[in-house]
Structure 1
Amino acid sequence: MADELVFYTNPQSRGRIARWMLEETGADYRTEVIDYAARMKSAEYLAINPMGKVPAIVHAGKVVTEGAAICAYLAEAFPEAGLAPRPDERADYYRWLFFAAGPVEQAVTNNFAKFDPSPEQARSFGYGTYATTVDVLEQAVSAHDYIAGDRFTAADVYVGSAVGWGVLFGTLPRRDAFTAYFERLSGREAYRRAAAKDDALVEEKTPA
C-alpha cells in the first residue's frame, strides 16, 4: 500500500518511545522486530537506517529515524489524533522536545559513563553540566501538568520516556516532580497498550 506504515524496533530499546507514539496516533502499522545479533547490522536494515539503530519508521515510502523526529513526524502525519501543538503551545513543545533529545540525552549518557566535564569543557558542551540539566528538566515538568501546557502532546511522549526511564534506571534522580509527571503519563491507555505489546515481545524471546 502506498501509505503503509512500517515500524522497525526491538522491544528492549528506545523503540518503545516510537511504539507509544504510534499507539497514541491510533494509526494502523506493521511491526518488524530487529534483533541485535544479526539483522540490525544487515545490509537490508542499514539501507533503512545506516546507523544500524532502532527505532525507524517507513511511511508512504519515506524513512524517519530518531525518536524525537518520529514523534514530531507522526503528530503531523496523523493530525486527527490531536498530538501536534496548537499555536500557543508551539514554543514550549519544540523547546522541551529538543531539550530532551539534545542536552538531556547528552548529560545523562555522559554522566552514566562517569564523564564529568571540567568547567572549561562545560562551556563548550550543549548541556553545560549534568546538575544544571537535571534542574532545568525538573522546572520544565513542574511548570504545567504537561510539557507544553495543560494537555498531552507528542512532546510528552519523548520527554516522558526520558523521565520515566531515567528514574527507573537511576540515570535521573527520583525527584517528586519527575515521578508525578510520569505517573500522569503512564496512566494513559495508549502507553499501557504499547508497553503490553513490547513486554509480550520480550517474553516471546526469553528462554523458558
Structure 2
Amino acid sequence: MTLTFYTNPMSRGRIARWMLEEIGEPYDTMLVDWTQKPAALLDANPLGKVPTIVHDGAVVSEAAAICAYLAEAFPAAALAPRAEERAPYLRWMFFTAGPLEAAMIDKVLGVEVPEAKRGMVGYGGFGQAVDTLEYAVSAHSYITGDRFTAADVYVGSAVGWFTQFGLLEKRETFMRYLDRLQQRPAYQRAAAIDDALIAEAAQR
C-alpha cells in the first residue's frame, strides 16, 4: 500500500492531515511550495491544488472528498457512516463544502448578494448559512449523532478555520463543538506536525 499526501501546512491540507492521523495508516508527506509545485503533483492534479492524495495510484483531491474517501478506504478506523448516519453525514459534509464555503468566500471578497438574488447563490443570506451550521453542530455531540465520523473532521475543521480568521462568530455552540474535537489525539498530532513545519519554514 502506498499513500502519498501533497500538502502545505498553511492550507486546507491541515484537514487531510487530521484525517490521515485519524485512520492511523502510514503515509508519505510531500510538502508543496506555492511558487514551485512538483511535477508529480501536477501530473496527479493539473490544478496543482493541495491537499491531494495518491493512494495506490488513485488520485483524490478536495478536502471533503479526501475525508470521505479515506473513511471508506480504511474501514478499520470506523470513520465512515453507518446506515442510520449516512443522511446527516452526507448532508452536512456537502453543505459545509458547498454553500457554507461559498458564503465565507463571498464574505472575504466583500461580495454582497442582493436580497432578490439570494436564491441563486445556494446559501441564501450569510446569516442563514451561519445559523444552519449552528443547527448542524448543536443537534448532537457529533454531526451524525453520538459518534465521531469523518464528517466531523471536515465540518470541525471549517468551524476552526472560520472562527480563527474572524469569518464566523465564536458562538458558544461552535466553540463547545470545536473544543470537543480538539481533544482528540489525532487532531493534536496533526496540528503539532503542521505547526512544527510552519515554525521550521519561518526560521529559514
The reply to whether TM is greater than 0.5 is yes
Residue aligned with 1:170, SS: coil
- Residue 107 (str. 1) matches residue 87 (str. 2): no
Distance (Å, rounded) in 1 between the aligned partners of 2:39 and 2:9: 21
Q: Does 1:51 align with 2:51?
A: no
Of 116, 121, 125 in structure 2, the residue corresponding to residue 125 of structure 1 is: 121
1:94 alignment partner in structure 2: 90
**CA separation in 1, counterparts of 2:44 and 2:166?**
32
Shift of 1:43: 4.2
Q: Tell me the CA shift for residue 119 of structure 1.
A: 1.6
Deviation at 1:207, TM superposition (A): 2.4
Partner of 1:84: 80
- Give 5+ residue unaligned stretches, structure 1: none
Q: CA RMSD in A?
A: 1.0
| Mapped pair 1:156 → 2:152 | yes
Counterpart of 2:132 (choices 136, 148, 153) is 136
| Equivalences, count | 204
Name the counterpart of 1:34.
32
Secondary structure of the residue that 1:57 maps to in structure 2?
strand
Q: Residue 53 of structure 1: CA displacement?
A: 1.3
Q: Which residue of 2 aligns with 1:13?
A: 11
Structure 1 SS opposite 2:120: coil
Question: Structure 2 length normalisation: TM-score?
Answer: 0.97
- 1:21, 1:87 → 2: CA distance? 21
Amino acid at match of 1:152: F
Matched, 1:25 2:23: yes
- Quote how far apart the aligned CAs of 1:121 are: 2.0
Q: CA deviation at 1:62?
A: 0.7
1:62 aligned residue: 58
Partner of 2:188: 192
Extract structure 1 runs of 4+ deviating beyond 3 A. none
3-state SS of paired residue (2:121): coil
Which letter does structure 2 place at the counterpart of 1:16?
R
The letter for the 1-side match of 2:17 is R
**AA in 2 matched with 1:110:** D
Question: In structure 2, how many angstroms separate the alpha carbons of the residues matched to 1:87 and 1:195?
Answer: 31
Structure 2: tracts of 5 or more residues without a match: none
1:50 Cα deviation from its structure 2 partner: 1.4
SS at match of 1:47: helix
2:4 & 2:180 partners in 1: Cα distance? 29
- Post-superposition offset of 1:47: 1.3
